[in-house]
Amino acid sequence: MEYKELSNLYIDLSEDILKNIKFDKSSKDNQNQLIFFSCIENSLDCEANYIYMTINSDIESIHEFNFDYKWIKLMQIEVIKNIIKNKLFDDGLISAISDSKKRIFSTKDTNIISSNKSNDLKKFTLILSKYKSFNELIRKTLDEC
């Protein structure tokens, strides 16, 4: 199976898993949330590999890196540099994934007067939507080059 197909498969899996998440802090729900993010990260990883294989670039091999560092390395390619920088890093998709993963097992500190935003359907849907729009944009850009 090609990286592009794997990337699409992981996105489909994340959409299916999202339908089963209730955000009730149960053990099963926490596992589903982690699986959701694992699917998103695996999709990002496969998409990075697909782009690396598609664009014959002089950058060093990225296959041994984790998903976010692969995208940092891919920013060395001028054609897609701004898309990656704007959509993944400046727009906060990578940080939103990391932040949401931390919140899965965090407990609310009642001694602090602050807002401990918990994970919710809106946040997960936004992450998925941002990733899908990024994915579509970068693929269109590659097709045009």
- pLDDT for 46-87, tens place per residue? 999 999 998 877 888 998 999 999 999 999 998 899 999 988
Token output for 65: 């890196």
Q: Are 45 and 70 in contact (CB under 8 A)?
A: yes
Instruction: Provide the pLDDT confidence category of residue 100 given band limits of 50, 70 and 90.
Output: very high
Q: Structurally, how many domains does the chain consist of?
A: 1
Residues 6+ apart with CB under 8 A from 66: 45
Residues 6+ apart with CB under 8 A from 89: 71, 95
Q: Indicate the pTM of the whole model.
A: 0.89
Q: Which domain holds residue 130?
A: 3-105+114-144
